[in-house]
Homo-oligomer: A and B are copies of this chain.
Amino acid sequence: MAELRRDPIVGRWVIVNTDDPAVPSSFGKEDHTPKQETTCQFCYGRETQTPPEIECFRAPNTAPNSPGWSVRVIPNKFPALRIEGNLDKRAVGIFDVLNGIGAHEIIIETPHHSKNLADLTDQEMFDVVKKYQSRSRSLGQDTRFKYILVFKNFGESAGASLEHSHTQIIALPMVPKYVLEELTGSQSYSEHRGRCIYCDIIQQEYQDKDRIVCENKDFLAFCPYVPRYAFECWIIPKQHEAQFAEISSEKQASLASVLKELLIRIRVALSDPSYNFFLHTAPVNYQSQESYHWHIEVIPKLTRVAGFEWGTGLYYVPTPPHESAKYLREAKL
């Protein structure tokens, strides 16, 4: 008998296969052998083929847009949204339209073409997280932008068109739907119970124990009770905080460490799958800081989303989260 489970934040139902859980070896393997190295614009020596860098960690006495960097932030050459212009709201018949204003940047996480996030040293990962934060802060200063999203696609089936490891950051002139649903749900919970729902979920995870993957003093990584995907994982700060852009340097180091460990566990337990992750934080200048709790959602790309999911928003999860967590927790690192 499968179980129907309801997400307490956004009200989404999912079907969890508790009968005959899919095991890691039942998912297809994906080949991540590098193929684009000879032409890759994110490699050393090809810095002038990308738009000029916005921020960089680089060795002393090296010039901008030349080799010597360790993390490099550039504008996306083919941005989904453009930074120049006004929002210009207008009606087109019964529809609402805005100019496509926003920012779309790339954080190149390493100069090494064949390394990915799970291969970085602790210090390198810390530097990447620092850039997530400094760009979030900087873009948040632009009064046209209401929301800053950090997200990553790794591997072809997760939608990465460039294989050189990178994260994307997008600034949007509105709060996107999925975040709005989390804000509304958590605000309503907080109004009714006077508590943060994410803090309550953390407490429930510690009570149940069996969905925890790994943790350190500041962060918990776990497989949520109501996932959308097999082996979906969340990383959440143990202390309540709404804004990723405001976390301390010490916590950034802590986040780097737990994110790295989780990505290594996913790679080992699931034979190096493609994955997506995204960071959900409160909107710029959000007022209800007490009800929202920032976090990262990591989705290994193991199955295809099909007509049922597109038509319902109801997901079929082939492996229950306590089983997923067990495989990830017991992965031999």
Contact with B along A140-160 (1 / 0, CB 8 A): 000000000101110001111
Provide the residues of chain B in CB contact with A168, threshold 8 Å.
307-308
Residues of B within 8 Å of A98, CB to CB, are: 3-6
Is residue A85 contacting chain B, with contact meaning CB distance below 8 A? Answer: yes
A80 to B15, CA, bound (A): 7
A293 to chain B, nearest CB (A): 14
Which of A160, A176, A306 has its CB near the most chain B CB atoms (within 10 A)?
A: A306
Complex formed: what's the CA distance from A93 to B100 in Å? 43
Q: B residues within 8 A CB of A304?
A: 157-159
In the complex, are the beta carbons of A3 and B100 less than 8 A apart? yes
Q: Is A54 an interface residue (CB 8 A)?
A: no
Nearest B residue to A90 by beta-carbon distance?
B3
**Complex interface: chain B residues within 8 A of A5 (CB):** 95-98
With A204-B94, A307-B152: A2-B178 Cβ-Cβ less than 8 Å? no
Per-residue B-contact encoding for A175-195, CB less than 8 Å = 1, 0 else: 011110100000000000000
Check if A307 sits within 8 Å of B3, measured CB to CB: no
Q: How far is the CA of A173 from the CA of B178 in the complex (A)?
A: 24
Contact B80 A306 (CB under 8 A): no
Q: Verify if A109 is at the interface (C-beta below 8 Å from B).
A: no
Select one of B3, B16, B176, B208 contacting A312, CB under 8 A.
Answer: B176
With A94-B200, A159-B305 as given contacts, are A310 and B80 in contact (CB-CB < 8 Å)?
A: no
Answer whether A201 and B94 are a contact pair too, CB < 8 Å, given A159-B306, A305-B159, A306-B159: yes
Bound together, the chains give a CA A17 to CA B78 distance in angstroms of: 11
Partner of A4, one of B93, B99, B157: B99
Chain A contact residues, majority secondary structure: mixed
Q: Does A278 contact B (CB under 8 A)?
A: yes
User: Could you tell me how many residues of chain A have their Cβ less than 8 Å away from some Cβ of chain B?
Assistant: 70
> Are B276 and A97 in contact (CB-based, < 8 A)?
no
A12, closest chain B residue (CB): B177
The 8 A CB mask of A1-38 against B (1 = contact, 0 = none) is 11111101001110111000000000000000000000
The one of B13, B15, B17, B99 in contact with A1, judged by C-beta atoms closer than 8 angstroms, is B99
Question: How far is B97's CA from A81's CA once the two chains are assembled, in angstroms?
Answer: 41
The smallest C-beta distance from A228 to any residue of chain B, in angstroms, reads 9
Least CB distance, A103 to chain B, in whole angstroms? 13
Q: Which of B94, B177, B225 contacts A314 (CB 8 A)?
A: B177
Is the beta-carbon distance between A93 and B2 smaller than 8 angstroms?
Answer: no
Q: With both chains docked as a complex, state the minimum distance between the C-beta of A139 and any C-beta of chain B, in angstroms.
A: 15
Kindly state whether residue A172 has any CB partner on chain B within 8 Å: yes
Does residue A207 face the partner (Cβ distance < 8 Å to B)?
yes
Is A170 an interface position by the 8 A CB rule?
yes
A316 on the interface (CB 8 Å rule)? Answer: yes
Beyond contacts A15-B81, A158-B306: 4 other A-B pairs, Cβ-Cβ < 8 A, are: A4-B174, A15-B80, A151-B310, A153-B307
> Which 9 A-B pairs have CB atoms at the shortest separation, nearest pair first?
A159-B306, A278-B311, A2-B100, A176-B312, A177-B313, A276-B307, A151-B307, A4-B98, A178-B313
